[in-house]
Structure 1
Amino acid sequence: MTNTIAPRTATAPTTTGRFWFTADAVISGVNGLAYLVAAGPIADLLGGDATTYRWLGAFLVGYATVVGLYARSALSKRMGWAIVAGNAVWVLASLEVAVTGMFDIDGLGRAWVVAQALVVADLALMQARSLRAR
């Protein structure tokens, strides 16, 4: 009796890939909602203007929605790589904000920006690895 196992197709979603994209959506969504709901206190804590945090929060909620929908889909490689590229741009922009102090953030704000950039960089790396493994 011969047992044959069909090879996984190049576009088959993986549990690991789905996990990293879902994690990205959840983290971005929670962060975005916090910026929307608590923009004033966050601005007081990190420096900058509450309006900037509200805009950032709205962007992150929208981004989280798109990535969350993607994580529940068939996981197109092209869209996955677009999300990874977007995360890479976010990391570079965050580091620029931290270095320049753009948006009038203070020392704690700069540390927060670097910390979240490291989280996004890690997510992008894990997402890229999951896409390459397919």
Structure 2
Amino acid sequence: MIAALEIRTALSPLRLALRIDAVVTGANGVAYLAAATVLDDVLGPTAGFLRAIGVFLLVFTAGVWAVSVPDRPAPAAVDAVVLANVVWVGASVALVLTQSQHLTTVGVVWVLLQAVVVGAFAAAQGWALTRR
């Protein structure tokens, strides 16, 4: 009977990809909220805009974490996270292409780096979903 029990301590690749996304996104959200008045000079957008992005990121974090909780996350929910991440990448590139005058050089680099990271999250999540 004991031999039939399986103790799982490791997260599946899909759940791990979702959790890493949630942790990194949550950290960004907290940073935007806590340091908006400092980051506005560094990145370019107003403190109010950064706070709004921070709130959005924390709400998104909660959703991504919730998707990661089941042993087998619902494919439709994972698809929604992947789609949201792809939209974030597109919006980031569009922001740089159309609104770079409102960003500092550091802000442009930061937005593009975030797009790369978020794109990697989307790719990892999509890959892991197809491998389960």
TM-score between the two structures when normalised by the length of structure 2: 0.88
Q: Is the 8 A contact 2:100 2:108 kept in 1?
A: no
Partner of 1:4: none
Once the two structures are TM-superposed, the CA of residue 105 in structure 1 deviates from its matched residue by 1.3
Once the two structures are TM-superposed, the CA of residue 85 in structure 1 deviates from its matched residue by 0.6
How many aligned positions are there? 121
Q: 4+ residue runs of structure 1 moved beyond 4 angstroms? A: none
Q: Distance in 2 between the 1:103 and 1:26 partners?
A: 30
Q: Confirm whether residue 51 of structure 1 aligns to residue 24 of structure 2.
A: no
Partner of 1:11: none
Of the candidates 93, 106, 109, which is equivalent to residue 107 of structure 2? Answer: 109
Gaps of 5+ in 1: 1-13
Once the two structures are TM-superposed, the CA of residue 100 in structure 1 deviates from its matched residue by 1.8
Of the candidates 39, 42, 49, which is equivalent to residue 42 of structure 1? Answer: 39
Q: Is the 8 A contact 1:49 1:103 kept in 2?
A: no
> How large is the Cα RMSD of the aligned pairs?
1.3
Of the candidates 106, 128, 131, which is equivalent to residue 130 of structure 1? Answer: 128
Identical-residue share of aligned pairs (%): 34
SS at match of 1:101: helix
TM-score between the two structures when normalised by the length of structure 1: 0.86
Q: Distance in 1 between the 2:101 and 2:51 partners?
A: 13
Q: Confirm whether residue 15 of structure 1 aligns to residue 37 of structure 2.
A: no
1:61 is aligned with what amino acid?
Answer: L
Once the two structures are TM-superposed, the CA of residue 72 in structure 1 deviates from its matched residue by 1.1
Deviates more, 1:71-80 or 1:23-32: 71-80
Partner of 2:5: none
Once the two structures are TM-superposed, the CA of residue 101 in structure 1 deviates from its matched residue by 2.3
